[in-house]
Amino acid sequence: MNRHFCRWAGRLAVIAAVLTCGCARQGVNGDGRSPKAVRVVAVESSTGAGSTTYSAVIAPNAQVDLAFRVSGYVVNVRQTKGADGRSRALEPGAAIGRGVILARIRAADYQAVVDKARGARDESNAGITAADAGLAEAQAALTQAESDFGRISALWQQESITRPAYDGAKARLDAARAKVDAATAAIAAAKQRATAAAAQAHEAEIALGDTELRAPFDGILVERHVDVGTLVSPVTPAFTMADLRLVKARFSVPDTALRQFRAGQVLPVTVDAFPDDRLQGRVLSVAPAADPKSRSFEIAVAIDNPALKLRSGMIASIRVEGEAAAHPQLRIPIDALVHDAVGDQYLVYALEQKNGSTVAQAIAVRPGPLVGNRVSILEGLSAGQRIVASGANLLRPGDVVKEVQ
């Protein structure tokens, strides 16, 4: 069965060699060494009939970097017992439940801010009580002033009192009304101060709570970046967690194979680490656009992983029943493909006769998806063409070569 790695470019980069111009001389290479031994194969042509097995990389359903929202020195990191029975800080691979406290930073500074904010809040609440009392006193004085002015007004109508007495009662009434208005405004201001103080106290309490870093979901610890004594800030990742209860197998396919996939489709899955386990995955998504470099489309397959056996980075095989291709597909061994980093292109080497010697000739090609240990070639070659398979990554254009079996 063929295999198709979802990101063939990464694997090709491992074997890529930077090409430089070289000169060939009869019998020896330009650097004076003997001809380089190479093995030559013919470009294969396949219709792709039957089923195809694609190689995919397992990725977590979610992976996040966790950081504190406040700055400070780490004073505690969650401890677990190791296989030797000793307690030690969390290590990668540890299972973590949602809400578990992973680490704490020094809280004394934040507790002091909380205490100060709470004091200001309590003082503001006391100010409301005092303002209420002032309003009650002003209203009582207003009631008395209104009563006095009513009596004085009746006497004024009867011409039983002097004008100054009447004016004095009127002034006392106006003053009492002004005090009530002032007391009412004082209550409104006191309530605003109390609201602001309560908000500051709540903000301080949130900051105090943020001195504890908790796991946002059930998952596996991927990496721990802090120890006791580490100075952290909101931009400092402290832990990396992954949700592996559901994993995704990601791989890429050419546009000619897109019609074989649809969202919700159930596909058989095997994992190299557990070859005897037969799993099932469901197509989660089909990329709406091709990768600009590989010109292939990524497929994501969701796989239930309740026992957490599947881990990020494992290689999975996904078999798809295919159809015969409308046009033959060209494939070459992966070792035959060379990456030219200078020209940012991919090359293969053919052999040509020059000045009585066999030399390497570079041919630019456009690779397609990786199927097993073979690469599909979309442009640059023809079926049956002979190219260098083994030793291609050691060649330069014009190198003298010797074909071996």
Residue-wise pLDDT for 346-377, tens only, equals 999 999 998 888 999 999 998 876 666 778 88
Would you say residue 237 lies in a domain?
Answer: no
Residue 295 contacts residue 368 (beta carbons within 8 Å): yes
Would you say residue 294 lies in a domain?
Answer: yes
Would you say residue 188 lies in a domain?
Answer: yes
Q: For residues 231-246, give the mean pLDDT.
A: 93
Q: Is the predicted pLDDT of residue 7 greater than 60, yes or no?
A: no
Q: What is the pLDDT of residue 8?
A: 41
Q: In 3D, which of 319, 306, 325 has the Cα closest to residue 243?
A: 306
| Same domain as 112, residue 182 | yes
Taking residue 164's Cβ as centre, other Cβ atoms within 10 Å add up to 8
Percent of the chain with pLDDT over 90: 54
Q: Is the predicted pLDDT of residue 19 greater than 60, yes or no?
A: no
| Same domain as 215, residue 103 | yes
Would you say residue 82 lies in a domain?
Answer: yes
Q: What is the pLDDT of residue 20?
A: 34
Question: Model confidence at 60, in pLDDT bands (50, 70, 90)?
Answer: very high
Instruction: Give CA–CA dist 182/188, Å, rounded.
Output: 10
Residue-wise pLDDT for 95-142, tens only, equals 999 999 999 999 998 999 999 999 999 999 999 999 999 999 999 999
| End-of-domain residue from the set 288, 321, 354 | 321
| Same domain as 279, residue 398 | no
Q: How far is CA 59 from CA 225, 266, 277, in A?
A: 21, 18, 18
Q: Is the predicted pLDDT of residue 170 greater than 60, yes or no?
A: yes
Question: Model confidence at 2, in pLDDT bands (50, 70, 90)?
Answer: very low
Q: For residues 238-242, give the mean pLDDT.
A: 96
| Same domain as 222, residue 95 | yes
| Same domain as 100, residue 116 | no
| Same domain as 254, residue 311 | yes
Residue-wise pLDDT for 251-269, tens only, equals 988 887 888 899 999 999 9
Would you say residue 58 lies in a domain?
Answer: yes
For 188, the domain range is: 108-202
Would you say residue 3 lies in a domain?
Answer: no
| Same domain as 133, residue 195 | yes
> Does the pTM exceed 0.75?
no
| Same domain as 270, residue 256 | yes
The CATH number of the domain holding residue 228 is: 2.40.50.100
Q: For residues 283-300, give the mean pLDDT.
A: 89
| Same domain as 247, residue 219 | no
Residue-wise pLDDT for 171-200, tens only, equals 999 999 999 999 999 999 999 999 999 999
| End-of-domain residue from the set 275, 305, 321 | 321
Would you say residue 136 lies in a domain?
Answer: yes
Would you say residue 216 lies in a domain?
Answer: yes
Q: Is the predicted pLDDT of residue 384 greater than 70, yes or no?
A: yes
Number of domains, the chain: 4
| Same domain as 250, residue 130 | no
Question: Model confidence at 51, in pLDDT bands (50, 70, 90)?
Answer: low
